[in-house]
A and B are shown apart, each in its own frame.
Chain A
Amino acid sequence: MPKMAFPPRHSRPTQTPFRVPLKVVLFLLLSLCLQALWHAHHPPTQAQVEDLSAPPSLAVLQLASIGEPEVLSRILMLWLQAMYHQSGVSLSFKDLNIDHVLMWLDRMLSLDAKGQYPLLAAARFFANVPVEKNQRLVGAFIYEQFFKDPNQRWPWLAHMAITAKHRLNDLPLARKYAVAIAKYATGPHVPSWAKQLEIPILEDMGELESARLLIGGLIQSGQITDSHELVFLNSRLQELEKKAAPLITLSK
């Protein structure tokens, strides 16, 4: 059987070097320059100040997510964030439509219940608006959302408790949030400082006796196991008893 003769590799014709016509190269360079010039001289990108409309229904959003609501929730969050944090546009937080913002945040949480971003945005960005009405609305929103997953969402309610205390100067509201954390956020990962948030608020409210009782109750309940924390709480208890003693005498 005769052997098939393949030409040896070195006998292949060598590839001729490419030759791009000079015109084509010049056109390429010219068009690149034109594109760069166009972009450089084009007006800089500026977001338009547009009113935030109310969100569509949850069913529509779920349909639009094509089976991936967690992804859509995050995309919507970035979009909402971009709407109110645009460089080049002096969008005042006072101008934002807080009702619509909260509706959007609610939809995002409905799409992805485990996501914390919408609550973070509510507590850190939208609650920072120096408008009392907005701060109270955001607080109410976070308070409502807190009960859906207290062990995960307590940080944002704690943030709102501090906001209520220091910015709104509304100690009863701050206490309401702190009580909710102590009562419902009972998971092992919830730090004790969060559960004890009510104590300093009670002190500020002048309700020393209540604070004293609360600390005493905490120590007796056996919830506090850390020795350093017990020492600290005992010292606080003694301080409170000293402060409360004259008041108790006067009341008698």
Chain B
Amino acid sequence: MIQKIATIAVFTALEGVRNRLIWVLGATLLSGIVLSSFSGSMAVTETPQIQLGVLSSFLRLSTVLLMTLFVLNSQAREYEDKGLELLLALPVPRSGYYFGKLFGFALLAVLVALCCSLTVALFQAPLTQTSLWGLSLFYELMLVIAFCMFAFIAFHQVPVAFMLVMAFYVLARSITTIQLIGHSPIMPSRDISLRFINQLIDFIAYLVPSLDQFTRAHWLIYGSGDGQALATVLGQGSIYLLLICSASLFDLYRKKI
């Protein structure tokens, strides 16, 4: 079983390499370096901080988009080419197929996170903070990858799945702010509709990970990443990954393929 998963994983990772994902990643890193250098050259003071801030936020967003598009595209092609049906016709359980694909994408996520961390380290970021940032980026990418797989298994359509993934990502990154604004004391707290919306927001906050606490530029700029930040990334990342994997497997087993 493990060997079968490993085989699927390796071929999934190879697909990324052969689809010029590495080239796109290289271009992204280069763009980030140029952009942050340009920003730094305009700054009068705090040049390294500005460069780190611009570079880290650019890399975070662009790698999330890159992996989202790659995973959805890969899934769509396999679905259209009947590769999924072929694989499931072999003595491979659906969970084996799922975890094979997930680990394959995870290998690519490791590569992406590692390259991004090394690029960030070029701009004088502290080593421990860079490691934390890189680990957090890996977890964030894994959550996005798992959610892409979940969305594609559910809808089998790239546009719908992409919109769903983006909505999830934006919501996960902004849910804390939305909660804060919603509970603002200047709002009319007696308003029933507002209370209902606030409760709905609180409920949604239970179901989405707090990605605003992941991969923060604050760690790199101010060196503020600590054990608690690491625990949050590991704890929340692992739990939510387990949740998405379970939901995806549930849907995959439920469907007639």
Residues of A within 8 A of B186 (CB): 81, 85, 125
Q: Are A45 and B184 in contact (CB under 8 A)?
A: no
* Among listed A32-40, A109-117, A196-204, interface-contacting one: A32-40
Q: Is the CB of B179 within 8 A of A45?
A: yes
Task: Kindly state whether residue A31 has any CB partner on chain B within 8 Å.
Answer: yes
Asked if residues A87 and B240 are in contact (CB atoms below 8 Å), the reply is: no
Cβ of A121 to closest chain B Cβ, rounded Å: 9
Docked-complex contact B180 and A86, CB < 8 angstroms: yes
On whether the beta carbons of A24 and B250 are closer than 8 Å, the reply is: yes
Let me know if B256 and A18 touch, CB within 8 A: yes
Contact bitstring B214-257, A, C-beta under 8 A = 1, else 0 = 00000000000000000010011001101101110110011110
Question: A28, A38, A87: which contacts B236 (Cβ < 8 A)?
Answer: A38
Pick from B180, B207, B243, B249: contact of A45, CB under 8 Å: B180
**Chain A residues with a Cβ closer than 8 Å to the other chain, count:** 29
- Residue pairs across A and B with CB atoms within 8 Å: the count is 76
Whole-angstrom distance from the CB of B171 to the nearest CB of chain A?
Answer: 14
Q: Which of A20, A36, A85 contacts B250 (CB 8 A)?
A: A20
Check A221 for interface membership: any CB of B closer than 8 A. no
- CB within 8 Å for A39 and B253 given contacts A24-B246, A32-B243, A81-B184: no
- Residues in chain A within 8 A of chain B (CB atoms): 15-16, 18-21, 24-25, 27-28, 30-32, 34-36, 38-40, 42, 45, 47, 78, 81-82, 85-87, 125
Across the A-B interface, the 10 shortest Cβ-Cβ residue pairs:
A28-B246, A31-B243, A31-B242, A27-B246, A20-B253, A18-B254, A85-B184, A87-B183, A24-B249, A82-B181
